[in-house]
Amino acid sequence: MRLHAIRHIFFSTENPRATLTRMSWWKRTKPVDDGVKPDMPLIRLEGISKVFKGDADEETWALCDITLDIGRGEYISVSGPSGCGKSTFLSLLAMLDTPTRGRYFLNGRAVDALSPAEKARLRNIEIGLIFQSFNLIADMTVYENVEYPLTLRNVTPADRKGRVETALDRVGLTTRAKQRPGQLSGGHQQLVAIARAIAGRPPILLADEPTGNLDSKAGDALMDMLGELHADGATLCLATHNPNYIARAHRHIYLFDGKLSPQPVAEL
């Protein structure tokens, strides 16, 4: 992926060890204080719809009239059949896409009232992204891929070094720090993307099928790590098909044909 595309997301936007230890190094950054209204939830969606137009102006409703609150420190799972709108839902939360209708409030601020630069600033500081597309920079090493978003946040070199080394150690990739993405398996590339997200220590983590490229042992270890991040204060929104991982969340959101469902689709 080209450098300018990665910069848009972050500015303008070996398996993990089986035995996991408490993540005492995880320290949340302070939320961006730009008119935050403490009486509002961290995230509020009001009548959110997303429509894609195809040939002959044919409309596909990826999301339809989603109204939802997500509080600070919640651990939420988002599940539903393929094509139900999970990835679109997370992309809207990450401000990587905009709704066709409805309003999105983040920390009490209407996202549609923010400039592109303000959205990028919030996303860069507030949100950690673990998506199915790794968005790694082919010409950078593993270490540099994890470090790059931190340089955009003006993190000091010493702090960057500590964060990157700790994150790579946490996902078991220390020995691969000098390799490039093309030399890694899909599973290892996924772990690089995870290390990049946790190195930023964001207060919000959005994860779209983060275990999809990992074996069961590595997937369980990753889920343990995400649980620890949540226990240390992060708000976690996880999209997954895995019933065991869904069960770890404290609240469950079900989507079907782009709409909220009161129960899993299998029970409809």
Question: Which among 105, 129, 118 has a CA at the least distance from the CA of 202?
Answer: 129
* Position with higher pLDDT, 170 vs 26: 170
| pLDDT value for 28 | 46
Asked if 51 contacts 62 with a C-beta cutoff of 8 angstroms, the reply is: yes
The amino acid occupying position 176 is R
Q: Give the mean pLDDT of 245-266.
A: 90
Structure confidence by residue, pLDDT tens digits, 210-236: 988 888 998 998 899 899 889 989 999
> Quick one: pLDDT band at residue 18, thresholds 50, 70, 90?
very low
Token duo for residue 208: 């779209």
Structure confidence by residue, pLDDT tens digits, 106-115: 999 999 999 9
Percent of the chain with pLDDT over 90: 59
| pLDDT value for 127 | 92
Q: 4 pLDDT exceeds 70?
A: no
> Quick one: pLDDT band at residue 33, thresholds 50, 70, 90?
very low
Alpha helices by DSSP H, listed for the chain, are: 3-10, 86-93, 116-126, 142-152, 157-170, 186-199, 216-231, 243-246
Q: Give the mean pLDDT of 245-268.
A: 86
Of 15-29, 51-65, 137-151, least confident by mean pLDDT is 15-29
Structure confidence by residue, pLDDT tens digits, 55-83: 777 888 999 999 999 999 999 999 999 88
| pLDDT value for 142 | 97
Quick one: CA torsion of 252, 253, 254, 259, rounded to 10 degrees? 170
| pLDDT value for 218 | 87
Q: 92 pLDDT exceeds 50?
A: yes
Asked if 88 contacts 5 with a C-beta cutoff of 8 angstroms, the reply is: no
Choices 3.40.190.10, 3.20.10.10, 3.40.50.300, 3.40.50.720: CATH for 3-15+72-95+115-262: 3.40.50.300
| pLDDT value for 24 | 45
| pLDDT value for 36 | 57
| Burial (CB count <10 Å: 0-12, 13-18, 19+), residue 103 | middle
Report the distance separating Cα 193 and Cα 134, nearest Å: 6
Residue 130, C-beta contacts closer than 8 angstroms, at least 6 positions apart: 193, 194, 197, 205, 206, 207, 208, 210
| pLDDT value for 1 | 47
The radius of gyration of the chain from alpha carbons, rounded to an integer in Å, stands at 18
Token duo for residue 253: 């959101």
Contacts 24+ apart (CB under 8 A), 217-221: 217/15, 217/18, 218/15, 218/16, 218/187, 218/191, 219/245, 221/15, 221/16, 221/17, 221/18, 221/20
Cα angle 48-52-56, degrees, rounded to a multiple of 5: 145
3-state DSSP assignment of residue 99: coil
Report the distance separating Cα 199 and Cα 192, nearest Å: 10
- Could you tell me the residue ranges of all domains in the chain? 3-15+72-95+115-262
| Burial (CB count <10 Å: 0-12, 13-18, 19+), residue 254 | buried
